Amino acid sequence: MKEEKENIFTVFDDILQRKDKEELLNQKSKVIWMTGLSGSGKTTIAKGVERYLHSQGIVNQLLDGDNIRVGISNNLTFSSEDRSENIRRISEVSKLFMNCGIVTLNCFVSPTIAIRQIAKDIIGEENFIEVYINASIETCEDRDVKGLYQKARNGEIKDFT
C-alpha cells in the first residue's frame, strides 16, 4: 500500500468540512458501490435509485464505468494494474463528492475483492455501501448491447471479466 503523505497545504484546514455541507443539505453522504457483471443491471438500477433520491430531495451523483472510461480514465486498459488505477481514481472522485455532502452512486464491474478493497480503503469502510447486482451470465449476455461477451469469446477482448 502507498505511504500516506502529509498534507502540507494548510488551506484545507480552513475550508468547510463534510459535516457542515451535510447539515446544509440536511442529508448524510455515503458512497453506494454497485458491482456485478457487465450487463447485470447496475446502471439501470442506479438510475432508478438516482431518480428516487432526487424525488426525496437528496442530492446525489451517479458515476458509471462507461462514462468514467471516456473521461478521467480514457488512458487506461483492462489490465489488472489499470483496473486498480481506474478504481483508485473513481474512489478519489467519490470521496470528493462525499466530502461535499453528496450521496454517490457508483456502477462498476470491480470484479475482485482486492479492487473493491482499494475503494473501501480510500472512501472509508463506514462510508462504503457495497451492493452486488446478481445476474446470470446468460442474462448478461442477452442484455449485452455492446457485444462484449461475444468479443471475449472470439478472443478480441483480453482480460474480460
Q: Is the pTM of this model over 0.95?
A: no
Which domain covers residue 53, as residue numbers? Answer: 14-134
Q: Is residue 4 part of a domain?
A: no
Q: Is residue 155 part of a domain?
A: no
pLDDT in tens, 48-88: 999 999 999 999 999 998 899 899 999 998 888 999 999 99
pLDDT in tens, 79-114: 889 999 999 999 999 999 999 999 999 999 998 999
C-alpha cell at 41: 443491471
Q: Is residue 159 part of a domain?
A: no
- Cα distances from 35 to residues 8, 19, 39, 99, in angstroms, run 35, 28, 11, 22
Q: Is residue 145 part of a domain?
A: no
- Cα distances from 110 to residues 7, 8, 36, 38, 130, in angstroms, run 29, 32, 7, 10, 11
Residue positions annotated with a catalytic role: 110
Domains contained in the chain, number? 1
CATH of the domain at 57: 3.40.50.300
